[in-house]
Structure 1
Amino acid sequence: MRISIHADPNIHITRLEYIVLYLNHHPYAQNNVSFTINQQTADVHLHYGNPIVNAENPSLHATIPTQNWLLAESDTNQSFWALYANQYDFEEMQVYSVETSKKRPQSIIENNKYGFDLFETLFFHLTRFEEAYAQKDQQDRHGYLLEDHHFLIRHGLHRSPVVDHLVETLLRSIGINIHHCGQRTLSHDLDAIWKYPNLLKGIKAFLKTAAAPTRDPTVSKVLQQYLKVKNKTLPDPYDTFDWLLSTPNHFDKYLFIMAGGQTKYEGHYNLTSNKLNEIVKTADGSGYTLGLHPSYAAYTDIEKLSTEKKELEKYLNAEIRDSRQHWLHFDVLETPLLLEHVGISFDHTIGYQNKVGFRSGTGFSYPWYNLKEERTLNLWEKPFALMDTALVSETKGHADRMHEIVREVIDTIGKKTDFTFNFHNSSFDPLRLGGPELLKIYEQFIKEKTRSLS
Structure 2
Amino acid sequence: MIVVYTDKISNRLTYTLNVIFKSILMVNYSFVNFETFKNCKDSVKINYSNRVINNCISIKPHSILFENNLKKQIIKVDWIKNIPYYFKTSENTDFNYDIFASTFYIVSRYEEYFKTELDCHNRFKAENSLAFKNNFLEIPIANLWAQELKKEIVEKYQNISFPKLNYRFINTIDIDVAYAYKGKGLVRFTGGFLKAMLKLNFSEVINRCNYLLKNKDIFNTYSKIIKLQKKHNTENYYFINLGDNKKFDKNISYKKKALIQLIEQLNTELNTTIGIHPSYASNFEYPKIKIEKERLEKITKKQITKSRQHFLLLKHPETYQQLINYGITHDYTMGYASKVGFRAGICNTYPFFDIFKNKQEKLLITPFQIMDGTLNKYENLSPEQATKKIKEISTVIKNVNGTFVTLWHNSSLSEKNEWENWTEVYENLLINTKEN
TM norm structure 2: 0.87
SS in 1 for 2:102: helix
| Aligned counterpart, 1:6 | 5
Secondary structure of the structure 2 residue equivalent to 1:84: coil
In structure 2, the CA distance between the partners of 1:153 and 1:309, relative to structure 1 (3 Å rule), is: same
SS in 2 for 1:26: helix
Q: Which residue of 2 aligns with 1:190?
A: 175
Q: Which residue of 2 aligns with 1:84?
A: 76
> Structure 1: which 5+ residue stretches go unaligned?
102-108, 211-217
- Are residue 72 (structure 1) and residue 66 (structure 2) matched? yes
1:128 and 1:202, CA in 2 relative to 1: closer, same or farther beyond 3 A?
Answer: farther
After TM superposition, list the pairs within 5 Å mapping 1:317-356 onto structure 2: 317-356=301-340
Q: Which residue of 2 aligns with 1:255?
A: 238
- Superposition deviation, residue 155 in structure 1: 1.5
Q: Which residue of 2 aligns with 1:214?
A: none
Residue among 138, 154, 166 paired with 1:159: 138
Partner of 1:221: 203
Alignment deviations for residues 303-332 of structure 1 (CA, whole Å, 9 cap, x no partner): 221222222212221101101111111112
Given that 1:189 and 1:424 are in contact with CA atoms closer than 8 Å, whether structure 2 keeps it comes out as yes
Q: Amino acid of the residue matched to residue 37 of structure 1? A: F
Bigger shift: 260-269 or 354-363?
A: 260-269
Q: Distance in 1 between matches of 2:3 and 2:131?
A: 30
Seen in structure 2, the aligned counterparts of structure 1 residues 111 and 354 have a Cα distance that, compared at 3 Å, is same
Deviation at 1:444, TM superposition (A): 1.6
Does the Cα contact within 8 Å between 1:245 and 1:282 map onto a contact in 2?
no
3-state SS of 1:139 partner: coil
Q: 2:128 aligns with which of 127, 130, 149?
A: 149
1:25-44 superposed matches below 5 A: 25-29=22-26, 33-39=27-33, 40=36, 42=40, 43-44=43-44
Q: From the superposition, tell whether residues 48 and 145 of structure 1 become closer, same or farther in structure 2 (CA, over 3 Å).
A: same
**Residues 247-280 of structure 1: per-residue CA shift (max 9 Å, x gap):** 1284322111122245311042122222223322
**Structure 2 CA distance for aligned equivalents of residues 378 and 74 of structure 1:** 20
3-state SS of 2:46 partner: strand
What amino acid is the match of 2:30? T
- 8 Å contact from structure 1 (residues 134, 145) kept in 2: no
Kept in 2: contact 1:83–1:100 (CA 8 A):
no
* Cα distance in 1 between the residues matched to 2:175 and 2:423: 17
Q: Structure 1 residue 133 and structure 2 residue 117: aligned?
A: no
Q: Which has the higher helix share?
A: 2
Superposition deviation, residue 410 in structure 1: 2.0
Structure 1 residue 172, shift from structure 2 partner: 1.6
Give the 5 Å matches for 1:412-427: 412-416=396-400, 417-427=402-412
Q: Cα distance, 1:199 vs. partner?
A: 2.0
CA drift at 1:408:
1.9
Distance 1:62 1:447, change over 3 A: closer
**Letter matched to residue 153 of structure 1:** F
The equivalences for 1:254-273 within 5 A come to 254-273=237-256
1:422-437 matched pairs, under 5 angstroms = 422-433=407-418, 435-437=419-421
The residue that corresponds to 1:274 in the other structure is 257
Shift of 1:300: 5.5
- Please say if residues 23 and 35 of structure 1, whose CA atoms lie closer than 8 Å, have aligned partners that are also in contact: no
Deviation, 1:133, is 1.5
Deviation at 1:220, TM superposition (A): 2.5
CA contact (8 A) 1:181 1:415 kept: no
Q: 2:348 aligns with which of 327, 343, 364?
A: 364
The one of 377, 380, 402 aligned to 2:364:
380
Amino acid at match of 2:361: L
SS at structure 2 position matched to 1:414: helix
Aligned-residue CA RMSD in angstroms?
2.6
The answer to whether structure 1 residue 202 and structure 2 residue 193 are counterparts is yes
Tell me the CA shift for residue 189 of structure 1: 0.9
- Structure 1 position 295, deviation (Å): 0.9
CA distance in 1, matches of 2:397, 2:334: 18
In structure 1, the partner of 2:83 is 95
- Judge which range, 296-305 or 167-176, deviates more: 296-305
State the shift of 1:111 in Å.
Answer: 5.2
Contact 1:222 1:431 in 2 (8 A): no
Distance in 1, matches of 2:219 and 2:103, equals 40
SS in 1 for 2:87: coil
Q: Which runs of 5+ in 2 are unaligned?
A: 155-159
Q: Deviations over 1:356-386 (max 9, x none)?
A: 1111112210000011211111110011111
Give 1:204 shift: 4.3
Percent identity for Structure 1 against Structure 2: 23
Structure 2 equivalent of residue 63 of structure 1: 58
2:264–2:299 Cα contact (<8 Å) kept: no
Q: Is the 8 A contact 2:415 2:423 kept in 1?
A: no
Q: What per-residue deviation string (whole Å, max 9, x for no partner) do you get for residues 114-161 of structure 1?
A: 1111111111111111112232xx212322122211111112211121
Residue 120 of structure 2: SS of its match in structure 1?
coil
Cα pair 2:370 2:405 within 8 Å, conserved: yes
Q: In the alignment, residue 121 of structure 2 is paired with which amino acid?
A: H
Residue of structure 2 equivalent to 1:104 = none
Q: Which residue is 2:94 aligned to?
A: 113
Q: Residue type of the partner of 2:413?
A: F
How far apart are the structure 2 equivalents of 1:115 and 1:131?
A: 26
Distance in 2 separating the partners of 1:364 and 1:370? 18
CA distance in 2, matches of 1:332, 1:156: 23
Deviations 1:198-251 (A, max 9, x none): 1223344566xx4xxxxxxx822222222222211x621111011113412843
Q: Is 1:242–1:282's contact at 8 Å kept on the other side of the alignment?
A: no
The SS at the match of 2:337 is coil
